[in-house]
Amino acid sequence: MDSEKIKYLQENYNLPSYRCQQLKEAFFHKHISEYTNITTFPKELRGRLQEEVPVLTTSLYKIYASQEKNAYKALLQLKDKRLVETVLLNPKPGLWSCCISSQVGCVLGCTFCATGTMGLARNLSSEEITDQVLFWQFFIKEEKIPARLSNVVYMGMGEPFHNKKEVFKSLRELMNPETFHLGARHLSVSTSGLVPAIYEFTEQFPQVNLAISLHAPNNELRVKLMPINKPYPLEKLMAAIEHYIEATNRKVFIEYIMLKEENDSLVLADQLADLLKKVSKSHLLHVNLIVYNQTDSEHIETPKEKARKFKNRLQEKGLSATIRKNLGRDIDGACGQLALKEPGRTTYFQSTNFVEVI
């Protein structure tokens, strides 16, 4: 459900505009998930709409909750039966954020990423993207979780800028005061570095947060981990980051997965610091060191102590850096783990301590 679908309903069911208002109120404010529960609506119409125009483009296939109930992962089934994953996270009290997918799979093939091993099945439409947010809003209401969804990050399956048109449309929808009405500063897009799209994003969404998956401080290493570095090497990527900061005066989040004995030495920490310090206003860069979530690749997670030393070295060099808290690992719901690990679909990566709630 989005503003376009409301328009469709208006035109095809001859709804007066106050009826459209009631629908928006029901779905986007009260988070009522079914027409049949919209009591302000005539009964006959509720039944017809329920039959003919489903509220969500997705249906729930499976949902998992982490032990501490601070992370949930849902597998949603699309109309063509393909599955997509989305995650709801509660990183600190009162803050709920969801991580949404922009594609089924991804073509960019980063070696550490489970989604990358699937290849790309297809792009999601803008409505399929925003429906993931609406799905979680309905879920929070139904589960009586006493909180509001405040943040949305495009860090699920897929490369958002490889599906630029629909992702940009979905960002507009999430900010639309008539529907989702989320503030731009509560939205974040993570990219592996599709340089031309970063410039367009800067132009069109200067208030939306930008995260760059860097993962290596030199081209030689980066190209091994991320094939996208070939067409868009670090020189071009860093120039796009510099331009974003110049144009927006806003922070950029630099994502860096810690991979044991690959990119985690202090020599590379120095190289990373040098690379980032070259950016003017480098105080606006924040390095998120990410604990590698084991997938069935050859990479291994950096030991905690070593990751801490790496972080300290960056801080000594004057950079802002933290090690990112990783929620949802026990349900394979953390970054890079989203690969539809369903038996019989792709390799099932066994998680021992999830709780299946539905």
Smallest distance, Å, CB 22 to ligand SF4? 39
For ligand SF4, what does the binding mask look like between residues 192 and 211, x meaning CB under 6 A?
Answer: x-------------------
In angstroms, what is the minimal distance from the CB of 336 to ligand SAH? 2
Should residue 295 be labelled a site residue for ligand SAH when binding is judged by CB under 6 A? yes
**Alpha-carbon gap, residue 33 to 140, rounded angstroms:** 11
Region near ligand SAH per CB under 6 A, out of 32-40, 124-132, 140-148, 290-298: 290-298
99: annotated active-site residue: no
Q: At its nearest, how many Å lie between ligand SAH and the CB of residue 142?
A: 27
Contacts for 133 with CB less than 8 Å, ≥ 6 apart: 98, 100, 149, 152, 174, 180
Stretch that binds ligand SAH, among 126-134, 142-150, 230-238, 289-297 (CB under 6 A): 289-297
Active site residue 335: yes
Structure tokens at 82: 């393909």
Whether 232 contacts 275, CB under 8 Å: no
Pair of tokens at residue 311: 């972080």
Can you name the residues that pair with 59 across neighbouring β-strands? Answer: 77
Please list, residue by residue across 79-108, b when 16 or more beta carbons sit within 10 angstroms of its beta carbon and e when fewer do: eeeebbbbbbbbeeeeebbbbbbbbbbbeb
> Cβ neighbours of residue 118 under 8 Å, at least 6 residues apart?
104, 105, 106, 339, 340, 346
Count of residues of this chain found to bind ligand SF4 when the rule CB under 6 A is applied: 11
Which residues, numbered 113-142, are part of the site for ligand SF4 (CB under 6 A)?
113, 115-116
Q: By CB under 6 A, which span of 89-97, 106-114, 232-240, 312-320 interacts with ligand SF4?
A: 106-114
With CB under 5 to 8 Å by kind, the binding choice for 302 among ligand SAH, ligand SF4, none is: none
Mind telling me the catalytic residues?
85, 335
Residues found near ligand SF4 in the complex (CB under 6 A): 106, 108-110, 113, 115-116, 158-159, 192, 213
